[in-house]
Structure 1
């Protein structure tokens, strides 16, 4: 199993997308935010827009990119293809099943192990260069962290547009919880000249 560099970051899942609303698997389909999703992203700005982030990165998919813009008041520093959601192959556009087959390889899609390797390599490259970056992406990223932490991707879906603090805990565990002001108190604040 690949290892994630043990440095904290802030994760923001995109706001509600048209696929979320329809309860369908989007995967790597480039679907937009709904009006509700845009509202959710603007709500995240209450905490995120005041911070002068050392790095704001986003998946290039429109739902994540737009969320990053609305939640921070500016465009991401860069779009990172490695942050895209898992390619669900023939599952894309299908209704979300009660139990997702995370560990199975979807026809024409990305194997779970390949997805984990991609997400970990992408995060490691970011964490090696930047302290406490803001990463805007998809729920699959948190499933990967959960898998590294507990050995299973199963668990509740990450809420749309609720900033999450993702940090090492102990020797091998990871903490994933809603972001609090004190988590990012060490980061500079946006000033009028920024």
Structure 2
């Protein structure tokens, strides 16, 4: 599958209660932890500066989240006063019987968890959703999950295996002439 070559910014949601407990979250609708709420609030200046300095705008063309509350809560605190557009297709991978178990029990990505979602199905769902968003909006802010970031890494770099993206660490994706066709950098060089 290919990703439409248009610029966007991606951020993983802030720390959820499952993240704090080191549990596999997947489809489970865990809310933000208190620390996660602070992370999201602390991201607001970074995301606002990107608009003012990079886009000469006071609003993102769209702020997209999954339908899980941890992404919507992150957007609520990180980009206040903007309408949030939830996409069901951007939900994290369904880890089936592994939902809620310690993260150390997570299987390799290419292995389908018992009663869970196969990697290929997950990747197709995510790329279709991202392409739909990129067709409609000039430079969206997408707040989703670490699995979505792994899909992006797989499509761009050929592997889902990469360092876990930090909570609310916005990453800029800009089409380029680089080896992989993309310039991928932390937004404003900041990480939360």
Structure 2: distance between partners of 1:83 and 1:175: 22
Between 48-57 and 22-31, the greater mean CA deviation after superposition? 48-57
Q: Is the 8 A contact 2:92 2:147 kept in 1?
A: yes
Secondary structure of 1:4 counterpart: coil
Q: Is the 8 A contact 1:10 1:164 kept in 2?
A: yes
Q: Are 1:109 and 2:116 matched, yes or no?
A: yes
Q: Are 1:14 and 2:13 matched, yes or no?
A: yes
Structure 2: distance between partners of 1:120 and 1:84: 12
For residue 150 of structure 1, report the CA deviation from its aligned partner: 2.1
Gaps of 5+ in 2: 52-57
Residues paired across the two proteins, number: 180
Structure 1: distance between partners of 2:143 and 2:17: 18
1:176 to 150, 168, 184: 184
For residue 75 of structure 1, report the CA deviation from its aligned partner: 4.9
Q: Is the 8 A contact 1:65 1:76 kept in 2?
A: no
Q: Are 1:92 and 2:87 matched, yes or no?
A: no
Q: Are 1:165 and 2:164 matched, yes or no?
A: no
Q: Deviations over 1:167-188 (max 9, x none)?
A: 233274333321129xxxxxxx
Q: Is the 8 A contact 1:53 1:134 kept in 2?
A: yes
Structure 1: distance between partners of 2:111 and 2:133: 28
Structure 1: distance between partners of 2:16 and 2:83: 19
Q: Are 1:136 and 2:135 matched, yes or no?
A: no
For residue 76 of structure 1, report the CA deviation from its aligned partner: 3.6
- What TM-score do you get using the length of structure 1 for normalisation? 0.87
Structure 1: distance between partners of 2:89 and 2:28: 15
For residue 121 of structure 1, report the CA deviation from its aligned partner: 0.3
Q: Deviations over 1:34-75 (max 9, x none)?
A: 110000000110122464111111111010000001000135
For residue 98 of structure 1, report the CA deviation from its aligned partner: 7.4
Structure 2: distance between partners of 1:63 and 1:99: 20
**Structure 2 counterparts to residues 11-160 of structure 1, below 5 A:** 11-49=10-48, 51-97=58-104, 100-160=107-167
Q: Is the 8 A contact 2:27 2:94 kept in 1?
A: yes
Structure 2: distance between partners of 1:130 and 1:95: 37
**Hey, which of these two has a bigger chunk of helix by percent?**
2
